[in-house]
Every structure is written in C-alpha cells, then in structure tokens.
Amino acid sequence: MKNILLFLLAGCMAMHAQNRLSGTVSAEGAVLPGATISLPELHQSTITDENGVFEFKNLPGGQLVMIISATGFETQNKTVSASGSQPLEIVLMPNLHELDEIVVSTPFRRLQRENVTKVDYYDIEELVQRSTTLHEALATLPGISQVTTGAAIGKPVIRGLSGNRVLVYSQGIRLENQQFGDEHGLGLSESGMGSVEIIKGPSSLLYGSDALGGVLYFNPERFAKNGQTEADFSQKLLSNTLGSVTSAGFRTSSDAFKFLVRGSHASHADYQVAGGDRVTNTRFQETDFKTALGFNSGQYSGVLRYNFNRLNTGIPEEGIGFQSEDRSPLDPRQDIFNHMISLQNSLFFENSKLESTLGFTHNNRQEIEDGEKELWMKLRTLHYDIKYYLPKWGATDIIAGIQGMAQNNENFGEKNLIPDATVADLGVFTTAQYERGRHLVQIGLRYDHRAVTGETMGVEGAEGFMQGFSRNFNAANFSAGHKFAAGAFTLRTNVATGFRSPNLAELGSNGVHHGTNRFVRGNASLKNEQNFQTDISLDYDTEHWDFFINGFYNRIANYIYLSPSGEQIDEYFVFDYLQDDATLFGGEVGIHFHPHPLDFLHFETTFETVTAQRTNGEALPLIPANNLNNAVRVSFNSAGAFRNLFARADVSTFFDQRRNGRFEAPTGGYTLLHLSAGGEITFGRVRTELSLTANNLLDRRYVSHLSRLRPENIPDMGRNLILSLKFHL
C-alpha cells in the first residue's frame, strides 16, 4: 500500500510539475520588445519585455507549438518542450507583409503558408467594422457569397455550394440550428468572434457529413495575455437601417486561470433601397452573450465556453410596402433562441497528446404568423470529437480520431414542416503528414455511419401527414495533398472525396414553409450526395507583389435539389426533392502589388468564377455571378497618439448572370463603390479604434442574383454609412 501511495504521489507531482519556458527574441542584431509569443494549444500568450525576454510558467512537459510574431517581421512556428529546456534564442527576419497566423481548422496546426490545404484566415473585427452583419462581411471574401432574404438572413455560399453543404464550426463544435433552409440565418453574432478560417472544398475527412463544399471555422476571441486584465466597449451606427450595435467585454488571465465575458445587442429598422424606400419587415434585433473559463495545470489544459444568441427578425412578404422606422419585427417573423456550451480538453504526454471536445447545442426556432407559432421546433444536439496525436515517427506526424453527434428534433407548433426525428452519427478517421525538404505530403482515410429515424405524424390522408422512416447512411472518404515550396513559389495540389447525407427537411418535409411561400415534399428514398474534387493553387510572393491562382473541379453524384411539381396545395406551389449528378468548376485569381519603399501603398485585384450544371447541361440555381474586385489601400503604422491609420477604396463589379437555373431569371450586372478610413487614437490609458465606411457610396440600385427577394424584383441595400468606435479601457 505504501508503494502504491508513493506512486500516486509521484504521478500527481508530475501532473503538476512547474515547467517553465523562457527565451529572448531579437531581430536585425537587437533585442525585440513587444513581440507576441503564443502557445495556442494552451490558450496562452505573452509579450517580450524591454529586453526582448519572455517567460511561461506551469507548463506541461510534452512538446508544444509556439508562435512568435511581430509587426514587420516573419512569423515563426516552432515545436518546443518545457521539460528541462534551456532559454530559447529566437531571431526574426524582416517581412513587411501581413502577419501569418496559425490555422486550427486543420489538424496539424501550422501557419497558413505551411499547410498542404490552402486555408484562408481573416480577422473578424476588421471585416465587420465595414459591414452590417457577419454574413455580409463574409460575402466580401474571394470565393464566398451569400444567399440573402433581407438584411438579417444570409447563408454562406462557397464556390456555388450552400445550405447543408457548407459546415459551420463555432467553439470547436458543429453549428446545428435547423440550417437546412436558405431562409434561415447563419445564427452567429460577430460579437466575441476572433477570426474565421475558410476551407474551400470537401472536408469530410476532418468533419464528416455536411462538409461537402467547405468549412467556415470560427475562432472565439482570444483570452488576455498572461498577467493582464482588459475591458472594452464598442458602438457601431449604421445609416441605412438606422442600426445600432453595442458590445462590451472583459478579459483577465493568469498563468493558470483565464476568464472572459462579452455581451452585445443589435437593433435595425427596415433597410433602404437606392432612392430611400424601405423594404417592409426586414427589421431585426439580435442579443448575444458569450463567456469562457480556461484552466492550465501541469499536463492538462481546458476551456469551457457558453454562447447564448437570440435573433428576432421579420420575414419580408410585402416588398416595398408600409414605410416605417420601427425596429420591432412584424408577423410573419422568426424568433430563434440558440444555446451552445462546449468543453475543450488537452492532455499532454511526453511525446504525444490527447484532445477532446464535448459540446451541446439547444436550438429553439419559432416562426410566428398572426400571433400563432405556426412552426416551433426544438433541436438538441450532443457533439463529441476526440483526437490522439501519436508520437512522431521520423518525419511523419499521425493523428487518429473519432467524431459524432446524437440529435433530436421535436415539433410544438400549429403545423409541422419536418417530423420529430433522431440522428446518430459516428465517424472514425486517421490522417498522416510527411515533410522532407521542400515537400509536404498529407493523406487521410475516414469512415462514417449515420442513422436517421423520423416519426409518423398526423393523420394518414390528411394535409400535413408525415410517414415515418428509418434510414442508414454510410460513407468512406479519402484525401491526399502535396505542397511544394521553392523560393517565392508555393504549389499545392489536393484531391479529396466528400459526402452529405440527406437532411431531415429533404427526407421528411410535407408542409408549407412561410419563409419561402411554398409547399415542400420530402423524399425518404434519397441517397448520399458523394463528390470528388481536385484543387490546385499556385502562390508567388515577393518583396513587391504577391500573386495567387486557385482552380477547382467538383463532381457531385446524387446532387439533391428542389423542383416544382406543377401542383398547388392551398394556393401554394408544390416543390419536391429530386436527385441528379452535377458538376461545378471555377476558381479565384488575385494580385497584390505593394511597391517598396512605398510600404504604405497597396493595390489589390481579385476575380472569381463558378460554373455549375446538371448532367443534361442545365445550370444549377443560386450560383453567384462572376465578380471582379479592385482595391486601393494605404496604411501608416506611425507612433504617437495616432496609430495604424488606413484608408481604402473598393470597386466591386458583378457581371451578368445568364447561366441561370430553369426557374430563375437572368440577372444584370452592376458595379459598387465602397470607401473606408480609420485608425487608432490614444488619450492617456484609453485607446480608441475608429472607422468610417461608406458602402454603395453612389447609391446604386441593383438586385443580387442570390437574393431571395429577386423574384419580386426587390433591390438590395442602398447607400450605407457605418461609424465604428471601440474603446479599450
């Protein structure tokens, strides 16, 4: 017994070993104060002091990823160990490009430039300060568009695929909020979001079903740096919607504990089209609350997060009708409550690591007509994701994992659109990465099983009857990628398969959805969508200019789509879910010219195109028009009270969309001008970020091809002035 107690005591001491990691950062022959040193796996960061020195305490003894970054220098990614290590001596090389960021949506956590798959990384705060909503901000990025129903409702589109074909992650777990419908919003607030990583292409190997077209991976805002306490308050005002977005947050961190909390509220009236008329009942209100608690002790690191979001938004049916500046949505409207809780854990061993993420979401979606809850669905989802990082085998890293979810949908409304149902997912996968010289190779395999059971609802033969069903879906998928870097050139080639199981709406719908004004009938015999995609990208980065070109070819078997049957039920046209093979191809190309020594001046141009069609050559619906964006940007990182000053002008041209689906009308092209400027002002201890943006400055009247209001020829938003203020207290 004595020996056992001594063994347990020794184990506890090892788990709580006070390992330290310290070092010095220098550049161009001098120490570098103010450099940021991050340990992303532990959610820890610090900055170097006036002597360029940094230190972390209470660290695990295994290997850790360390990121070293500073403005004007090349970001470094190092693997380090705190077990008896000597102080590190880190030398950064000059680099006037933007800071490189570590990517967490891919399993090996490398910098952007080091990944086999090209992953786009964007700072959320920088995007949304020039946009009305988060989904509108995402639609300004290359390869990303949005299907909209007014200002509040927007669904991301990646290279022509949307809905359940684009998987959204937040807090490390899948976003499950009845996202099958284009008339449902994204369900996330930009408040408390740090960054977004975008994977374009099938990612079923890492995420399972619904990652057929790509992944939007939202990272929460970071904790404060070790030993610091921060508070901030921000206010955004928008002229077009008479909108107001208010947010306040608090963050504090020690070596062992970290805490943050943030709340926000947004309120908008009906949006204006060019000329001043408002689109009736496009008003909305959103309340969001986020909090997180982090803990590090010896070999363990964990973060507990919670997010509450409520969106109350009108469903526009009258077009440009009754004119009002009221902010309370009218019926019909959606009132959506969403709760997300997640626990991310990391356990470090000497040469390996175990990561797990457990999450639970509760989505309460109501669609209210004439004061009655026509639709009322509660969706509860339990998520799990476990990965084991095996000991490094030579130059090869290997990860094995399991993922899945258990889901339950219940109806409580006057009518049912989809049945009461359960979904059970289980996926197992492994992926390996091998690096040698200029070459980096990554391969992976995965197998998934999904069981879906829908209950019989209603009276057979009566309107709204739903026949019960029980289906099992299986899929095996692979991915393979190669990155070759030589000087300024980086060439990436990837091939991958992906799949998507039919969702509850496609399998079991039988009723009227007032958000789309149509009667929808599901098909319980639908098969998996299965695709094969090839991607190739070439990047060329020099001191004066950068160039990229990305191309893709995507073949989807059993593509699911809605088609009108020619029938009518209660004056609503009936749409059925059908399947056919489809092909999508296209890509993005861009150039960034930043002549030196004029480091403050930037010229950027991007072009994107997607062609999508069924096997008979008929175009798929809701495919974005070709887009050309030109931008001129100036920025000054001056010292003193005024810092990080910038100004930019964007000219976005959307071309005619004549490759329209059978039941779509073609859309004419248009050009929009956007201007923005801002910077930072410091008075005493208060640092203020300020920006002023004018979107659609010329008040151009236009209709987007991806607008759900396009059949009624209702224009998109006119001129919109946005004033953003953020006070760091």
Q: What residue has token string 């599901």? A: 522
The reported pLDDT for the residue numbered 639 is 65
Same domain membership, residue 127 and residue 60: no
Question: pLDDT, tens digit, for every residue of 658-678?
Answer: 998 877 899 999 999 999 999
- Domain range for 220 is 119-728
**The pLDDT of residue 5:** 37
Asked which of 95, 128, 157 is the last residue of a domain, the reply is 95
Whether residue 114 lies inside any domain: the answer is no
pLDDT given for residue 9 in this prediction: 36
- Compute the chain's Rg from CA coordinates: 26
Same domain for 382 and 329, yes or no, is yes
The total of other beta-carbon atoms located within 10 Å of residue 604's CB is 17
Determine, yes or no, domain membership for 318. yes
pLDDT digits (tens, 9 = 90+) for 104-146: 888 787 787 888 888 888 999 888 888 989 889 998 888 899 9
* Residues of the chain above pLDDT 90, percent: 57
Q: How do 353-369 and 300-314 pair as beta strands?
A: unpaired
Residue 725's CB is within 10 A of a number of other CB atoms, namely 16
pLDDT band at residue 346 under the 50/70/90 scheme? very high
**Is residue 562 over pLDDT 70?**
yes
Reported as a pLDDT band with limits 50, 70 and 90, residue 99 is low
The 3-state DSSP composition of the chain as helix, strand, coil percent (nearest 5) reads 5, 60, 35
Residue 196 has pLDDT above 80, yes or no: yes
Residue 100 within any structural domain of the chain = no
Checking if the pLDDT of 653 tops 90, the result is yes
CATH of the domain at 276: 2.40.170.20
Residues 124, 71 share a domain: no
Residue 256: φ, ψ to 5°:
-105, -35
> What integer is the mean pLDDT of 596-608?
88
Instruction: Look at residue 568 in the predicted model and tell me its pLDDT.
Output: 85
**pLDDT at 49 exceeding the cut of 70:** yes
Average pLDDT over residues 399-412: 95
Q: 363 and 297, same structural domain? A: yes
For residue 10, is pLDDT > 80?
A: no
* Tokens 């991976």 found at: 217
- Is pLDDT above 70 for 516? no
Mean pLDDT score, 359-388: 94
* Cβ(655)–Cβ(607) below 8 Å: no
CATH of the domain at 10: 2.60.40.1120
What is the pLDDT at residue 515? Answer: 59
**159 and 58 inside one domain:** no
Q: Nearest Cα to 427, choosing from 181, 211, 217, 579?
A: 211
Q: What is the mean pLDDT of residues 281-288?
A: 96
Q: Is the pLDDT of residue 3 over 70?
A: no
More confident position, 418 or 514? 418
686-692: average pLDDT: 93
Query: Are 461 and 556 in a shared domain?
Result: yes
Higher pLDDT, 77 or 99: 77
Give CA–CA dist 457/375, Å, rounded. 14
pLDDT for residue 520: 86
Q: pLDDT confidence of 101, banded at 50, 70, 90?
A: confident
Residues of the chain above pLDDT 70, percent: 95
Mean per-residue pLDDT, 249-275: 95
In a domain, 112, yes or no: no
28 and 143, same domain (yes or no): no
pLDDT at 80: 85
> Is the same domain home to 75 and 127?
no
Question: In the numeric block, which tokens belong to residue 660?
Answer: 């329209």
> Has residue 232 been placed in a domain?
yes
Q: Which pLDDT tens digit goes with each residue over 424-453?
A: 999 999 999 999 999 999 999 999 999 999
Residues 74 and 145 in one domain: no
CA gap 530, 204 in Å, rounded: 10
Residue 703 pLDDT exceeds 90: yes
By three-state DSSP, how is residue 505 classified? helix
Range among 503-517, 615-629, 633-647 rated most confident: 615-629
Does the pLDDT of residue 355 top 90, yes or no? yes
Q: Are residues 83 and 127 both part of a single domain?
A: no
Q: Please, how many CA atoms are within 13 Å of residue 357, restricted to the half-sphere of its CB?
A: 20
> Are 161 and 71 within one domain?
no
Query: Where is average pLDDT lowest: 184-193, 277-286, 332-341?
Result: 184-193
Confidence of residue 181 (pLDDT cuts 50, 70, 90): low
- Provide the pLDDT for residue 11: 41
* Structural domain count of the chain: 2
State the chain's mean pLDDT as an integer.
89
- 8 falls within a domain: yes
Placement of tokens 């004419």 in the chain: 668
Q: Is pTM beyond 0.85 here?
A: yes
- The answer to whether residue 101 is domain-embedded is no
Q: Is the pLDDT of residue 182 over 60?
A: no
Please report, as a single letter, which amino acid is at residue 199.
Answer: I
> Does residue 70 sit in the same domain as residue 140?
no
Within a domain: residue 15? yes
